[in-house]
Structure 1
């Protein structure tokens, strides 16, 4: 993708709010009441395993299901690599996701596929009524 015509951040406050939103997503990764609310109602999410979800309600269901399985013991951390503004109200955020598999050896559900330890993640964030929300989240495994 040619990013040469993407506008640079014109407001340091926007970049700060985006960084805070990313931090909140990481803190709320096991909270199905908080994490989905940080996304738009019509979000598209493609997880590390390639599962695609459409809409916040589908995300809530998938997250609730995952948290009642051995996946509850998988934690991730995010590092922001780049923030670019396509418009003043649309930001493309490139991140590196690191997976921390904290399942105990022999846990039920060890038949889950092995997860890659890192992923290249992209958020498309949109601002509505002054609040930034994640509209698209996609993670590509780095093998």
Structure 2
């Protein structure tokens, strides 16, 4: 089946499932839950942090997240909004996200890209890059 053969109802259901994963990322970050965050990744996932640190595999993502997330959200909140979903295949999607950290100095906007794969009925973060936005025009 190609992406053009995905009927609208199935596509909408898959987009909703993808949005739920993004909501879980937001929840895990705001509540400083590193295990919940890490559980959203495939075992062989790639993550590039907003600071440019490249992490290969869930173990590396876990080690980094356990160092930075507890206490890392002190005085901050973050929201994530799915802006666009491109189905590469019915079980692989590139997901463009608008990320806004509310900081004491005002909002800090990011634009992560999450490549997600559906495995055993669950969408998983597979290859992700977090990128800051210099100007949010």
- TM-score range (shorter-chain normalised) is 0.7 to 0.9
Match of 1:136 among 105, 124, 127: 127
- Contact 1:121 1:140 (8 Å CA) reproduced: yes
- Contact 2:33 2:70 (8 Å CA) reproduced: no
The RMSD of aligned alpha carbons is 2.1
For the pair shown, the structure with the greater C-alpha radius of gyration is 1
* Offset, 1:68: 4.6
Aligned equivalents of 1:82, 1:7: Cα separation in 2: 15
Unmatched tracts of structure 1, length 5 or more = 1-5, 104-115
Map 1:1-143 → 2, pairs under 5 A: 7=3, 10=7, 11=10, 12-29=12-29, 30-68=32-70, 71-73=72-74, 74-101=76-103, 117-143=108-134
TM-score, normalised on structure 2?
0.81
Aligned equivalents of 1:81, 1:23: Cα separation in 2: 13
Larger helix proportion of the pair:
2
4+ runs deviating over 6 angstroms: none
TM-score, normalised on structure 1?
0.78
Aligned equivalents of 1:136, 1:89: Cα separation in 2: 14
Aligned equivalents of 2:101, 2:53: Cα separation in 1: 17
Aligned equivalents of 1:23, 1:68: Cα separation in 2: 19
- Contact 1:126 1:135 (8 Å CA) reproduced: yes
- Alignment: residue pair count: 125
Unmatched tracts of structure 2, length 5 or more = none
Label 1:53 to 1:75 Cα distance change in 2 as closer, same or farther (>3 A): farther
